[in-house]
Amino acid sequence: MIVLGAGLVGLASAWLLQRRGHRVLLLDPCLGDGVADADPASPLPPLSGSRAALGVLMAQVFHRSSGRGWRLRQRSLELWADWRRQLEDRGRPIAARQGLLLLAADPQERQRQERLALERGRRGLPLEIWGTDRLAALMPQLPAGACGGLHSPADGQLDPLQALDALHSDATAAGLSNLAKEVVAIERSSGARGWRVVLSDGQRLEAEWLVLAAGAAASPLLARLDPSLAADWPIEPVLGQALELELSDQSGRLLTADGGGGWPGVVVWKAINLVPRPDLPGGRRLWLGATLEPGQTADPEALTAMADLGGSAPDWLRQARVCRHWQGLRARPVGRPAPLLETLAPGLLLAGGHYRNGILLAPATAEWVVQQLEGP
């Protein structure tokens, strides 16, 4: 079978299929690319969503308590824990940080968090309400406007590039075939195999099953195959910019602390993620992101507003040094909830449109792909 797209969703699907004994070819022109260090002031071309992601896992603080989105998030969180153990046992660890603190910016949001904590408590999920006194004791200082927070010890963050590398190397060791070429069209095959992909060099490859996990790039391929499919399942790009910051000695040292006033993991303020990365050089690094910009063109003003937390940034954050600036494209479904997990025709699967949760939902998506091939 062919998996088109080597972002985390496509790679997770290829990895799981290969590990279950299927013969898989992974196609992506950017196979092997990563987030390279660059001059922070230089303009950067957008990366794939996975290679630009911050890797935040928000499952148990999800605002809904039922439905497909809830089920996918909980299953993915469970699978990530299992997958990371498997990969680490084979010498391919993925750095991760447990814990997520979702800040409330107004009393109404705090009330919603309190109701959510009660509901999750009835399910046996350990969410905890933090008051302003507890928030004030954290270092570095949080945005002054926070009037409370919801802490989830099970949510958190993992390193997307390490996840990509671990899954890719592990799948390749199990026999995964890789081809770094662009697909310009997909066609129905007239032979025994169900689908054909046309590469930019004119080469044609056939397979019984084809998984489209190419993000927004799936839309033009579907349009060439059947315009009605593209109209029924439209996906648009949404650009996000992110920063890696280095904090001063005084403000940054407690990001590495276990207890003693340090942050309890990722901090989320008005949909902006602040991700401590004490594992990076110097031990005082922080990832900040990401903007939400329709289209593929970065807006410097959007980056400035995000870096200032919309006017709420503490002094230590404004004084931090920018080490790296990057941007990437998320794939957002138009008029439909994310993600798009659909059998478009016998043997043709669409696994895309994960928008802001591709890292989190990759394992559950891969499991769905396997179920379509093997049955429940």
Residue with tokens 């006194």: 133
Q: CB atoms < 10 A from the CB of 106, how many?
A: 12
Amino acid sitting at position 117: A
pLDDT at position 252 is 52
* Tens digits of residue pLDDT in 17-55: 999 999 999 999 988 544 333 343 344 456 788 989 999
Q: Which range marks the domain in which residue 297 is found?
A: 2-374
pLDDT at position 53 is 95
Categorise residue 306: left if φ over 0, alpha if ψ from -120 to 50, beta otherwise. alpha
Please identify every stretch of the chain with a pLDDT value under 70, giving residue numbers as ranges. 32-46, 191-192, 250-261
The pTM of this model reads: 0.94
- DSSP, collapsed to helix, strand or coil, labels residue 190 as coil
The per-residue pLDDT of the chain, averaged, comes to: 91
pLDDT at position 190 is 79
Within 8 A by CB and 6+ apart from 242, the residues are: 52, 54, 287, 288, 289, 290, 291, 325, 326, 327, 328
User: How many domains in the chain?
Assistant: 1
Q: Which helix (H) or strand (E) holds 242?
A: strand 235-246
* Tens digits of residue pLDDT in 208-251: 999 999 999 999 999 999 999 999 999 999 999 999 999 987 66
Q: What angle do CA 220, 222, 224 make, to 5 degrees?
A: 70
Within 8 A by CB and 6+ apart from 3, the residues are: 10, 13, 14, 17, 24, 25, 26, 27, 211, 213
Residue with tokens 């942050």: 263
Return the CATH number at 115.
Answer: 3.50.50.60
pLDDT at position 255 is 59
> Which of these, 205, 211, 185, 154, lies nearest to 12 by C-alpha position?
211
**On the CB side of 241, how many CA atoms lie within 13 Å of its CA?**
22
